[in-house]
Amino acid sequence: MKSIETIISELIESAHVLENVASVALSEASGRVLAADVLAQMNVPPFDNSAMDGYAISAPEGFDETTAFRVVQRISAGETGVPLSRGEAARIFTGAAIPHGTTQVVMQELCVVSDNVLHVRAVCASGEFIRRRAEDVAAGATLLKAGLRLTAAHVALLASMGVEQVLVRPLLKVALLTTGSELVDVGQPLAEGQIYNSNRYALAALFGQWGCEVVLDEQVVDDLSLTIDLLRRAAVVADLIVTCGGVSVGEEDYVKQAVTSLGELHSWQVAMKPGKPLAFGQVLATPLIGLPGNPVSSFLTACLCARPYVRARLGMARLLPRWFDVLADFDWLKPDVKRVEFLRTTYTDSGVQLAGTQGSGVMTSVANADVLVRVEAGQVVHGGDVLRAVSLTELMSL
């Protein structure tokens, strides 16, 4: 058995970054991975402007509440005024350009104006309520780095620079093959002995969230030649083939044989629970990841092992999720002695508790969980112990 760390690094090492980068409109860029650094093309804000509705004043040395300012102009957002001289003020609105000569902006709540003469009710500091040119971004600075997945906040920054198009990595084309003669697609009635093909939907949703485009999504019965045919078709259309089920040691497990006949396969026993059988190889020239069939095992091996690989193919800078400490609010007295266990847990006021039974077929505890906690092989856990945890929300998103 290999450790999960070994498996993840072997997967990452073998990952070739998708090369055919493309330019997309900013409105399409959210969720995509930047293919090149973006340098700031301009200062943001481009000019000093008011942070308040109020008055821009040009205050003489040592001014106070008795100082009278002459209101000489009115500047709304989008307008530029004329320079202020000492003792003058401009009515000004949020976002409007600060006129030359302004020492500070006084919010309107602190201003008393009559007959175009302004008195301030409280003295404020020089420079107050002025948003300085380039205080957010200076022209020429590296604004965003290649390998970043663009979020709404990054899109906002790019828009503030007037950027219209961004260079991004393509989506990873995934062929998803679920195997098993017992599987029935949703919407069909179940006969005795059959189950719904839930992994198909779980995996399509996960890989879709991770920056993949599912270009082929098919179910195949446990049959060698049908599996070979399907793999051959998948290899032509996909950047990555993901299979589910049929990789363990039973005689109805045909994925390994089928892959070996078309390419090569490294099949591993991963020392993790849930999990264990996992395969990696290639069909013709297309890489293949073979996930286990048990619903929780396939879900968690996808999240923990396939996700970093997908991120590497997408050229992402950060491949691994963030791990953090949590306090156990449960006891785990009979650990697996050989395998690391990932327990599905939910937050409580004093840490995390088990989100339900931890069997490898029990999806309810995945659906109810907030975080996965890691328990080492042979590690007994008592309430109050510190454990390493990872957010399922993070694992399920790009």
257 binds ligand AMP (CB under 6 A): no
- Contacts of 174 by beta carbon, 8 Å cutoff, 6+ apart: 207, 212, 213, 214, 215, 238, 239, 240, 241, 242
R_g of the chain, CA atoms, integer Å:
30
180 binds Mg ion (CB under 5 A): yes
Residues 156-215 that bind ligand AMP (CB under 6 A): 178, 180, 182-183, 195, 197-200
Q: With CB cut-offs between 5 and 8 Å by kind, which of Mg ion, ligand AMP, none does residue 183 bind? A: ligand AMP
Q: With CB cut-offs between 5 and 8 Å by kind, which of ligand AMP, Mg ion, none does residue 15 bind? A: none
In the set 147, 275, 290, 292, which binds ligand AMP (CB under 6 A)?
A: 292
- Tell the smallest beta-carbon distance from residue 391 to Mg ion (Å): 30
Q: Whole-angstrom Cα distance, residue 351 to residue 374?
A: 14
Distance from chain centroid for Cα 76? 39
Which of 69-77, 102-110, 293-301, 312-320 is the region at the interface with Mg ion (rule: CB under 5 A)? 293-301
Q: Is the dihedral of CA 304, 309, 314, 317 positive or negative?
A: positive
Alpha-carbon separation of residue 138 from 132, 333, 367 (angstroms) = 11, 56, 45
- Tell the smallest beta-carbon distance from residue 17 to ligand AMP (Å): 30
Between 44 and 259, CB nearer to Mg ion? 259
Phi and psi, residue 359, nearest 5°: -65, 155
Outline where DSSP puts E strands in 221-304.
Answer: 240-244, 263-269, 272-273, 277-283, 286-291
267 binds ligand AMP (CB under 6 A): no
295 binds Mg ion (CB under 5 A): no
Q: Whole-angstrom Cα distance, residue 347 to residue 367?
A: 14
Between 50 and 199, CB nearer to Mg ion? 199
105 binds ligand AMP (CB under 6 A): no
Q: Whole-angstrom Cα distance, residue 57 to residue 87?
A: 7
- Tell the smallest beta-carbon distance from residue 250 to ligand AMP (Å): 6
Q: With CB cut-offs between 5 and 8 Å by kind, which of Mg ion, ligand AMP, none does residue 96 bind? A: none
**Cα atoms found within 13 Å of the Cα of residue 264, Cβ hemisphere only:** 2
Q: Whole-angstrom Cα distance, residue 300 to residue 303?
A: 5
290 binds Mg ion (CB under 5 A): no
In the set 170, 295, 308, 315, which binds ligand AMP (CB under 6 A)?
A: 295
> Cα(first)–Cα(last) distance of the chain, in Å?
29
275 binds ligand AMP (CB under 6 A): no
Query: How many amino acids of this chain bind Mg ion (CB under 5 A)?
Result: 4
Site string for ligand AMP, 213-252 (x = CB under 6 A): -------------------------------xxx-x-x--
Q: Is the dihedral of CA 162, 164, 165, 166 positive or negative?
A: positive
292 binds Mg ion (CB under 5 A): no
Between 210 and 254, CB nearer to ligand AMP? 254
The footprint of ligand AMP (CB under 6 A) covers: 178, 180, 182-183, 195, 197-200, 244-246, 248, 250, 292-295
The footprint of Mg ion (CB under 5 A) covers: 180, 245-246, 293
